[in-house]
Homo-oligomer: A and B are copies of this chain.
Amino acid sequence: MRVIELHRSVTESNDQDALQLREELRAKGVLLVNLMSAPGSGKTTLLSRIITDLKEKLSIAVLEADIEASVDAERIEALGAQSIQVHTDGMCHMDAGMTRTGLEAMDLSRTDLAFLENIGNLICPAEYDTGAGLNVMISSVPEGDDKPLKYPLMYQKSQALVLSKMDALPYFDFDLEKFRERVLFLNPSIQIFPVSAKTGEGMEDLEAWLLEETAKWKGSGKRA
């Protein structure tokens, strides 16, 4: 496992950098998924399950972003996936320059699908385009069904929402229909995947969607 220490990007034109990185990744046929959530939503557990389920079909790599810890990258590496840890030096988000630095340490020639496990935070990561082809956010059942009201930007910036820890639904006062309504009010075209990485519930739909999006992305790169 490699660990890279990041510092604030020199460039001020993050949107331009992100656009360029996205097109480079398209040309290389690598779909980068920016995975965002609150702390403790189960990002690493979800990724572990996806890697295990899809490893015969896709070559998956993970760019782990943390303020200073490296525990998640160790978990991912144990599954045999390519894993690079970046440390953000206290910063609460990843931008396109930081993402590029992390990806440069990866062997992208043997990667179909790369995940950026962004910093656990519902605010800052939504404000920066990382250059990813898809933004996916995770909400977990224990966080409560009112989160879309409080952190709207991330719901608006995401193409898909994974509602994790569905196995905990019986123990929490979480209204699935109300949650769905609130999310769709903010973002009518978002895809919602209720899952439990523990029991496997809903994982098949989410993984079928990831396979489809990866194939579409590769197709778009060949046409370009």
Contacts and interface: CB of A to CB of B under 8 A. Distances in A.
Number of copies: 2
Interface residues of A, number: 33
A50 interface: no
Contacts of A143: 39-40, 142
Nearest to A122: B39
A157 to B, nearest CB: 13
B165 A67 contact: no
Contacts of A124: 92, 123-124
Given A69-B149, A150-B71, A168-B171, A40 B120 contact: no
29 contacts: A38-B40, A39-B122, A39-B143, A39-B150, A39-B151, A40-B140, A40-B142, A40-B147, A66-B150, A67-B123, A67-B153, A68-B152, A69-B150, A71-B149, A71-B150, A90-B127, A92-B92, A92-B121, A92-B123, A120-B150, A120-B151, A121-B121, A121-B123, A124-B124, A142-B168, A167-B171, A168-B168, A168-B172, A171-B171
